[in-house]
Structure 1
Amino acid sequence: MRLDKFLAETGIGSRKEAKQLLKKSLVTVNDRVVKDGKTQVDETQDSIKFAGEKLTYQKYYYYMLHKPQGVISATEDKWDQTVVDLLKDEDYREDLFPVGRLDKDTEGLLLLTNDGQLAHQLLSPKKHVDKEYFAKVQGIVTDADILHFAKGFALTSKEQVKPSKLVIELIDETDQTSEIRLIIQEGKFHQVKRMFEAVDKKVVYLKRLRMGSLWLDETLALGEYRVLTEDELEGLKNN
């Protein structure tokens, strides 16, 4: 790897900024001052220091985010705040992206990473990775709805959805509302909302709780995030 790329990857600055720092003799490779950003280094073996502090190379990053409403699941947007905008300056990287999407008005678990292979593994329809949601629904969800969801059905757009697991948690006869959990293995556009529309009900609140083996850390406030633990990451890779 080129030295200027290594410096950029470890958060010292952009490649352009790294070149300026190199000129100031602030970077050493195996205790030797190096000023040329094109110098090839072994990121796993060489001892590379900036201003006397050893730099550690990390290729992939994994953050669990408790996404709030009003934030877009994207890396950039002209009008709205994105999930990447929620990252602190020291955690921001240009190659980070959300794994899958949550609607603007949906809360809950979202994984941010730069590991494209893991993202593909979690999102590929062939992998059958569970996505579990909690929802408040306008209307009374019934046992007939549970059976209907379990069989799979066509949405109002005629698009087919696969079988899913619907669990009723609370029914409020007075307000004519229901609280449910739903486990699906797809990620179609507005899928959960459209599934309930197909049975004449309306989702008024939606929160993703789980993706595969990864559960939302409920100690995270809305908009907060943290690094995945080794066990959480290992579990995701084994989904």
Structure 2
Amino acid sequence: MRLDKWLSNLQYGSRKQIDRAARDGRITLNGAVVSEASIHVDPKNDTVTFDGAPVVFIPDLTLMMNKRAGVVCAHHDTRFQTVFDDLPLHYARHDLHMAGRLDRDVTGFLLLSVEGALIHRIISPHKQLYKTYHVQTEAPVDNLARFNEPLILKDGRGRPYTIAPPRVVDASGTTTVIQIAEGKHHQVKRMFAAIGHPIIKLTRTAIGGLTLDPDLQEGAVKQLTPEDIARIFA
């Protein structure tokens, strides 16, 4: 890959700006100063610095984020901070995408990856991958059996649909733990509102077989290993 294209993809500037930086001697490749940004680079094996700092490139980067409340799941927003604002710069430079979205007030496990095939495998409704949510309501939910009956909701465009019954993992006091394989617009909130129990706090705690790291602070991220990713589908 051309050096200017690669560095531009990593948000070091436009290709024109990268070319100017090379001519100014601000880029090195394997210890040698680069004068032409049109040269080719092997991102996996070459060592590149920009203004003296190593260029960090992680080919298969996949992250677990403990999303905090108040940020939106978008790359850019004119009103609110986004989940990408919480990323350390060496991660934020990568072309990361989200495996599904969480509402601004919802917290918990958000997966981000540069791997499009992985994202598709997680969010595709045909894969039936369950996500786990901890639901807090004002009062104990004493009518969870309603979820086993046909329950018609409306999606983000106002079109009616019948939800698949969720798996109820636990119900203790005002906290209910459920698993769903669908991901319709505001689905969990709409489900509980439909049975008379509006949600006051909602947290996603697992995607498939991979559970949110309990030591991960809200707003923080950790890089996932191939073993972690395999646990999602175990």
- Shorter-chain TM-score bucket reads 0.7 to 0.9
Deviation at 1:76, TM superposition (A): 0.8
Bigger shift: 53-62 or 207-216? 53-62
Tell me: CA distance 1:23–1:184, structure 2 relative to 1, closer, same or farther (3 Å).
Answer: same
User: Where does 1:110-129 land on structure 2 (aligned, <5 Å)?
Assistant: 110-129=110-129
What whole-Å deviation, never above 9, does each CA across 1:93-116 have from its counterpart, x for those lacking one?
Answer: 262232211111111111122222
* 1:132 and 1:184 in contact (8 A); partners too: yes
Match of 2:172 in 1: 170
Q: Is the 8 A contact 2:152 2:160 kept in 1?
A: yes
Q: Measured at CA, do residues 55 and 193 of structure 1 come closer, stay the same or move farther in structure 2, by a change above 3 Å?
A: closer
CA contact (8 A) 1:133 1:206 kept: yes
Report the secondary structure of 1:155's partner residue. strand
| TM, length-normalised to structure 1 | 0.82
Q: Which runs of 5+ in 1 are unaligned?
A: 172-177
Is 1:200 aligned to 2:216, yes or no? Answer: no
Question: After superposition, what is the alpha-carbon deviation per residue over 1:69-123, rounded to whole angstroms, capped at 9, x for unaligned?
Answer: 1111111100001101111233212622322111111111111222222111100
Code of the aligned partner of 1:148: R
How many residues get paired?
229
The answer to whether residue 217 in structure 2 is matched with residue 218 in structure 1 is no
What SS does the aligned partner of 1:7 have?
helix
SS of the residue corresponding to residue 140 of structure 2 reads coil
Looking at structure 2, the residues matched to 159 and 133 of structure 1 have their Cα atoms a distance apart, in angstroms, of 21
Give the fraction of aligned pairs with identical amino acids, expressed as a percent: 33
Q: Report the counterpart of residue 4 of structure 1 in structure 2.
A: 4
SS for the counterpart of 1:234 is helix
2:18 aligned counterpart, secondary structure: helix
The corresponding residue for 2:87 is 87
* Unaligned runs of at least 5 residues, structure 2: none
Q: Which residue of 1 aligns with 2:141?
A: 141
Judged with a 3 Å threshold, the aligned counterparts in structure 2 of structure 1 residues 28 and 108 are, in CA distance, closer, same or farther, namely closer
SS in structure 2 at match of 1:111: strand
What SS does structure 1 have at the residue aligned with 2:78? Answer: coil
Conservation of the 8 A alpha-carbon contact between 2:132 and 2:180:
yes
Distance 1:72 1:49, change over 3 A: closer
Q: Which secondary structure does the structure 1 equivalent of 2:91 belong to?
A: coil
User: Which residue pairs with 2:77 in the alignment?
Assistant: 77
How big is the shift at 1:61? 1.9
The correspondence for 1:235, drawn from 228, 231, 234, is 231
| Contact 1:150–1:166, Cα closer than 8 Å, also in 2 | no
C-alpha separation between the residues in 1 aligned to 2:37 and 2:49?
13
Contact kept in structure 2, 1:149 and 1:165, CA below 8 Å = no
What is the deviation of 1:163?
2.1
> Aligned-residue CA RMSD in angstroms?
2.7
